[in-house]
Structure 1
Amino acid sequence: MKKRSLFTEYFLQHKWEYMLGAVLLTISLALQLMVPLVLEEFTNGIQYATITASDLMELAVYFIWLGLGIFIFRSCGRIYIFRLSRMLERDLRTRLFQHWEKLPAEYYQNQRIGNLMAHAVNDVNVLRQIGMQGVFQMIEAFILITIGIFLMAGTINLYLTLLVFIPLPALTYLAYRFRIKIRMHSTKVQEAIGTLTSRVQEFCTGIRVIKTYVQEQEEMKKFMKENDQNIKANQQLIRANSLFTSLSQGIVGLSYLLSIVFGSILVMRGTITLGEFVAFNTYLSLLISPIENLGKVINLFQQGKAADQRLSEVLATEPTIKDEKDVIPVMELTGDIDIKNLSFKYPNSPLEALHNINLSIKKGTSLGIVGKIGSGKSTLVNLLLRLYNPPKGTIFINQYDIRKLPLHVLRSSIGYVPQTNFLFSSTIQDNIAFDPKDYQTKYVFRAARQAEVYADIQGFAEGFQTALGERGLSLSGGQRQRVSIARALIKNSPILIFDDSLSAVDAKTEERILYTLKAEMKEKTSIMISHRISTIQHADQIIVMNKGQIVEQGTHETLLRKNGIYKNMYVQQSNEMVLETSNERKIRIKKWGNEHR
């Protein structure tokens, strides 16, 4: 069975509301179709001099009542139908956003921000236009054309009606010929808008790098090229729409010409009265706009079909990471982690990111992880959080396979500080208290003190109510890291994971943070990833990773005795620290000498 389109689905859900809107519109159109009858009586009365002053007064009052009725019912029907289209817009965007929240991180790695924005803005807007102008004009065209033709043929002249409507079936042929072309050009326009939006978003995000490397002119060239492609795509769509509209108007104009010429002949022959001729042409005038709009509506529906298809593809994307059918109804976790024979490949990658990892981390203990870039450290954390699905039977928390744990329980049990610290463009307090729980201000302050960022925040004019720019770029790298640490600590989760989250702070600040965290992590299971030996040397156990495998494991002292990779890293970093301290001492001595000359 063919799946219904999004608009059809919504239309059927609200069919009775649409029916009421159609009834209100139908009443206004029925009143509108009474205008030619009144004009016929008025014209015949003047032609045969049978109309009186009182008749004129009655006709005037009748016209006023007709106009008032048309205004009231048309306005109400229009407002009702347009309101439904705005509800469609709201519901579609909500549904799209909710679905995006369910999709895994890998989905967004393969998508451009501009394309996602085009779905949420442009595609939804096209469907809204179908719900507004499309439905409204379709109802108007169907009722006016059906009843109008019946009145023209039945009450005035059948043969004149048939003659006038001979050219009009050509509109259907035109709509058929243009529908695929318009849909294709509409798709290209949406893709061009998505590309252009991505370019602007990338420019805004990377503005510091662009300015630093003096790439303004190059970025302008790229923008102009994609802007030109956007213009060309729109020109092709406009050209197709304009050609269709012009041909449609030509066909309608031919019908009008036939009405004037042959209608006049019938009046002169006495076959129809002058009043009937006026009424016939008034009917035709009423039908011209709906007939023209019918072609536009067909084109709009073609654009809508393309937009509907794109949105349907997004909504049909199944989240690969979700609660399993046999999920265990666990409410809380305490922190025992066991990893057994874990090997993992990223989707579409031929190489293993992790190979045969075996590890046990008991509740209340700490694990330090070191290794080169690309050795698999962050991959291990991503699997613990189920940002990617580990193979079944490889990772256990409290002896439960994490694939069988409810996602919200698993992730709410882990306080995580990612390698790239993302902050939202709200206040610092909102960023720290970023959790479903509603935290009191004292807990926000406490977390900030633990992360050694309280004094920095208090130094801002607005304090914790300081509004951050996009991605928190108004803070320094170290401040962003410490706000991210505070965000993890405030959750008071049984498991804490720090993914190289102290790389942007100096050694003294790192030492103070680690001293504070030592007490905080006493009853928690903690995992610390770092390139610095100083960050993880006090961990209960340390693993060294290389090419996705654990190559060394033990405590700081036992690893130093092995004279392996860990020992080499420690010696190298110790020498670098000594050299750095020596250079700092030389700078201080030179500065003191300059001041005392």
Structure 2
Amino acid sequence: MKTRPIFHQHLFQHKWGYLLGSGLLTISLVLQLGVPLLLEDFTDGIQHLSIQVSDLWNLAVWFIVLGIGIFLFRSSGRIYIFRLSRMLERDLRTKLFSHWETLPADYYQQERIGNLMAHAVNDVNILRQIGMQGVFQTVEAMVLISITISMMAGTIDLYLTLLVLIPLPGLTYLAYRFRTNIRMHSSKVQEAIGTLTSRVQEFCTGIRIIKTYVQEQEEMKKFTKENVENVKANKRLIRSNSLFTSLSQGIVGLSYLLSVVFGSILVMKGTITLGEFVAFNTYLSFLVAPIENLGKVINLFQQGKAADMRLSDVLATTPDIKDEEGIFRLNKFEGDIRIQNLSFQYKNSKGYALRNINLTIKKGTSIGIVGKIGSGKSTLVNLLLRVYNPPKKSIFINNYDIHDLPLKTLRTSIGYVPQTNFLFSSTIKENIAFDPSIYQDKDIYKAAKQAHVYEDIIDFPEGFDTPLGERGFSLSGGQRQRVSIARAMIKKSPIMIFDDSLSAVDAKTEELILKTLQTEMKGRTSVIISHRISTIRKADQIIVLDEGKIVEQGTHESLLERNGTYKKMFVQQSNEFTLEDSIPSSYSERTVRIKKRRG
């Protein structure tokens, strides 16, 4: 079944409101037609010198009454119709944002930010304009044209009316010829705006790198090229719009010329009076604006059709990751995790990111995950959070298949510190308390102390109320990581995941944080991913990933007893301050040799 376009849905939903607004506008247009009748009587009275002073006063009163009536009904209809279009704008942006929140992570890897912004701003604005000017001017044109032509033909002269209307069907032909071009050029403009917006966003995000590598000129060249393409796309749209509008005005002008020439002849022959001629041309002047606007409305509706299609495509995108039928309505669960024969492959990827992973993590225990870049560490975490969908019957929490758990419960029950420490451009306090739960200041301060960032924060002039810049770049890398840790710690979730979350802090701070975590994580399950052995060496169990497979598994001490990948990583990372404390005695002589060689 074909889905009804977005604007049609809105129009149908608010049909009574639009009918009321259209009715008020129609009343004002009917009142407007009284003006030519007054002008006709006035002109004939002047011509025959039969008009009196009292008639002038009556005429003035009628003009005032009609003016007030036109103003009241027209403005009321306009306000009512425009209010409904603003409701469309509000509801559509809310619906769009709400839908984006349901879409998986790979959607945002494929879509440019500029395109998303163009949808939320430009496309929605076009549909709003259709709801405002489009509806208003369409109703005005249909009503005014029909009743004006009826008055011209019925009260003045049928043949003169038919004569001046001869050129007007050309507007329909023009609309037919131009509609495809205008819709195509409108889509190109939106694409160009999306590309340009993405360029600006990328520039703002990477400004430090651009300056460091002295790439200002190169970035300017890229921006100039895309800016030129944007201007070209707009020029093509403007050219089509201008040509259509000019030809439409030419057709209207031809009708006006026919009216003046042949109407004057009829006056001289006595077929119509001078007052009727004035009234006829006044009626015709009423037609000029609606017919010109009709051309603009046709163009607007073509742009709107393209915008409607783009937004419909976005809203029709179905999320792969969602609550399925028959899920268990759990509000919370404990931290037992079991992974069974898990293999995972990203879309459009030839190889597997994870291969045959089997793992058991008991409640209240900790697991360290190490491995080189691209070995599958973050992929495993993303599957636990269902950022991506794992195969069914491969990940179990408390013996429930992860697919059978509500997404909200799953993610609420997991505290997560991501590898990329994203902070929002709000205050430090709001970033730490970024959770549906409501926290007191004492809770926020405690979490900051647990992450050992409290002293740094209170040194700022505004303390916890310090506003952060874009992505939190006003903080150092280590401070951003520790604020992210505080944000996860405040949740007190039964499962905590730390994805390489201490890489930007110094060794001393890392040791302090790890000591605090050992105390705070008692009774809770923790998953710690790191490139540093020092971060995960005290975990209850450690796994080493390589090319998506578990190649080694055990405790720190047992893994060091092997001549495997873990020991090689440990030796590479060790230094003269930590080697003797970390390596068993059987390796002490080798340790001394390594120290001497480095010294």
Calculate the TM-score normalised by the size of structure 2. Answer: 0.96
Pairwise CA distance, 1:546? 0.3
Alignment-mate amino acid for residue 102 of structure 2: K
Pairwise CA distance, 1:54? 1.2
Pairwise CA distance, 1:541? 0.5
* Structure-2 separation of matches of 1:177 and 1:570: 73
Alignment-mate amino acid for residue 92 of structure 1: L
Structure 1 vs Structure 2 CA RMSD:
1.0
* Structure-2 separation of matches of 1:365 and 1:460: 37
Alignment-mate amino acid for residue 454 of structure 2: Y
Pairwise CA distance, 1:576? 7.5
Alignment-mate amino acid for residue 292 of structure 1: E
Q: How does 1:206-221 map to 2 (within 5 A)?
A: 206-221=206-221
Q: Quote the residue 2:66 is aligned against.
A: 66
Pairwise CA distance, 1:166? 0.2
3-state DSSP of counterpart to 2:392:
coil
* Structure-1 separation of matches of 2:293 and 2:575: 79
Q: Quote the residue 1:594 is aligned against.
A: none
Listed as ranges, the gaps of 5+ residues in structure 2 are 580-599
- The answer to whether structure 1 residue 341 and structure 2 residue 355 are counterparts is no
- For 1:499-525, what per-residue CA distance to the aligned partner results, in whole angstroms no more than 9, with x for missing partners? 000011111110000000001111100
Q: Quote the residue 2:230 is aligned against.
A: 230
- For 1:514-556, what per-residue CA distance to the aligned partner results, in whole angstroms no more than 9, with x for missing partners? 0000011111000000011111111111000000000000111
Q: Quote the residue 1:257 is aligned against.
A: 257
Pairwise CA distance, 1:48? 2.1
Q: Quote the residue 1:139 is aligned against.
A: 139
Q: Quote the residue 1:82 is aligned against.
A: 82
* Structure-2 separation of matches of 1:556 and 1:563: 13
* Structure-2 separation of matches of 1:521 and 1:180: 63
Alignment-mate amino acid for residue 351 of structure 1: G
**Structure 1 residues 140 and 393, CA, compared in 2 at 3 Å: closer, same or farther?**
same
Alignment-mate amino acid for residue 512 of structure 1: L
Q: How does 1:29-44 map to 2 (within 5 A)?
A: 29-44=29-44
* Structure-1 separation of matches of 2:241 and 2:537: 69
Q: Quote the residue 1:18 is aligned against.
A: 18
- The answer to whether structure 1 residue 394 and structure 2 residue 370 are counterparts is no
3-state DSSP of counterpart to 2:106:
helix
Q: How does 1:175-324 map to 2 (within 5 A)?
A: 175-324=175-324
Alignment-mate amino acid for residue 268 of structure 2: M
Alignment-mate amino acid for residue 220 of structure 2: M
Q: Quote the residue 1:591 is aligned against.
A: none
Q: Quote the residue 1:592 is aligned against.
A: none
* Structure-2 separation of matches of 1:318 and 1:430: 32
3-state DSSP of counterpart to 1:562:
coil
* Structure-2 separation of matches of 1:23 and 1:461: 60
- The answer to whether structure 1 residue 544 and structure 2 residue 561 are counterparts is no
* Structure-2 separation of matches of 1:487 and 1:575: 32
* Structure-1 separation of matches of 2:3 and 2:138: 23
Q: Quote the residue 1:488 is aligned against.
A: 488
Pairwise CA distance, 1:42? 1.1
* Structure-1 separation of matches of 2:363 and 2:574: 31
* Structure-2 separation of matches of 1:534 and 1:238: 63
Q: Quote the residue 1:465 is aligned against.
A: 465
Decide which moves more: 570-579 or 451-460.
Answer: 570-579
Alignment-mate amino acid for residue 386 of structure 1: R
* Structure-2 separation of matches of 1:2 and 1:324: 25
3-state DSSP of counterpart to 1:363:
coil
Alignment-mate amino acid for residue 503 of structure 1: S
* Structure-2 separation of matches of 1:326 and 1:578: 52
Q: How does 1:143-158 map to 2 (within 5 A)?
A: 143-158=143-158
* Structure-2 separation of matches of 1:221 and 1:573: 43
- The answer to whether structure 1 residue 98 and structure 2 residue 98 are counterparts is yes
* Structure-2 separation of matches of 1:577 and 1:374: 30
Among all aligned residue pairs of Structure 1 and Structure 2, give the percentage whose two residues are the same amino acid.
Answer: 76
Q: Quote the residue 1:586 is aligned against.
A: none
Pairwise CA distance, 1:327? 1.1
3-state DSSP of counterpart to 2:288:
helix
Pairwise CA distance, 1:578? 6.7
Q: Quote the residue 1:444 is aligned against.
A: 444
Alignment-mate amino acid for residue 370 of structure 1: V
* Structure-1 separation of matches of 2:545 and 2:155: 91
Q: Quote the residue 2:426 is aligned against.
A: 426
Pairwise CA distance, 1:15? 0.6
Q: Quote the residue 2:372 is aligned against.
A: 372
Q: Quote the residue 1:582 is aligned against.
A: none
- For 1:312-351, what per-residue CA distance to the aligned partner results, in whole angstroms no more than 9, with x for missing partners? 1101100110001121111111110000000000011121
Decide which moves more: 338-347 or 262-271.
Answer: 262-271
**Structure 1 residues 465 and 548, CA, compared in 2 at 3 Å: closer, same or farther?**
same
* Structure-2 separation of matches of 1:4 and 1:151: 38
Q: Quote the residue 1:122 is aligned against.
A: 122
* Structure-2 separation of matches of 1:415 and 1:499: 11
3-state DSSP of counterpart to 1:352:
coil
* Structure-1 separation of matches of 2:329 and 2:131: 43
- For 1:538-586, what per-residue CA distance to the aligned partner results, in whole angstroms no more than 9, with x for missing partners? 111100000000000011111111121111111111148679xxxxxxx
Q: Quote the residue 1:3 is aligned against.
A: 3
3-state DSSP of counterpart to 2:353:
strand
Pairwise CA distance, 1:45? 1.5
Q: Quote the residue 2:514 is aligned against.
A: 514
* Structure-1 separation of matches of 2:170 and 2:289: 16
* Structure-1 separation of matches of 2:70 and 2:2: 40
* Structure-1 separation of matches of 2:274 and 2:218: 71
Pairwise CA distance, 1:382? 0.2
Alignment-mate amino acid for residue 250 of structure 1: G
Alignment-mate amino acid for residue 167 of structure 2: P
Pairwise CA distance, 1:2? 3.0
**Structure 1 residues 511 and 102, CA, compared in 2 at 3 Å: closer, same or farther?**
same
Give aligned pairs, total.
579
* Structure-1 separation of matches of 2:4 and 2:106: 28
Alignment-mate amino acid for residue 17 of structure 2: E
Alignment-mate amino acid for residue 350 of structure 2: P
Show structure 1 runs of 4+ deviating over 3 A: 575-579
3-state DSSP of counterpart to 1:386:
coil
- For 1:132-167, what per-residue CA distance to the aligned partner results, in whole angstroms no more than 9, with x for missing partners? 111110000000001001111111111111100000
- For 1:81-119, what per-residue CA distance to the aligned partner results, in whole angstroms no more than 9, with x for missing partners? 111111111111111100011111110011111111000
Q: Quote the residue 2:53 is aligned against.
A: 53
* Structure-2 separation of matches of 1:203 and 1:461: 30
Alignment-mate amino acid for residue 289 of structure 1: A
Pairwise CA distance, 1:270? 1.2
Q: Quote the residue 1:170 is aligned against.
A: 170
* Structure-1 separation of matches of 2:572 and 2:123: 56
Listed as ranges, the gaps of 5+ residues in structure 1 are 580-597
Alignment-mate amino acid for residue 108 of structure 2: Y
Q: Quote the residue 1:479 is aligned against.
A: 479
Q: Quote the residue 1:528 is aligned against.
A: 528
* Structure-2 separation of matches of 1:278 and 1:131: 35
Alignment-mate amino acid for residue 293 of structure 2: N
**Structure 1 residues 239 and 128, CA, compared in 2 at 3 Å: closer, same or farther?**
same
Q: Quote the residue 1:589 is aligned against.
A: none
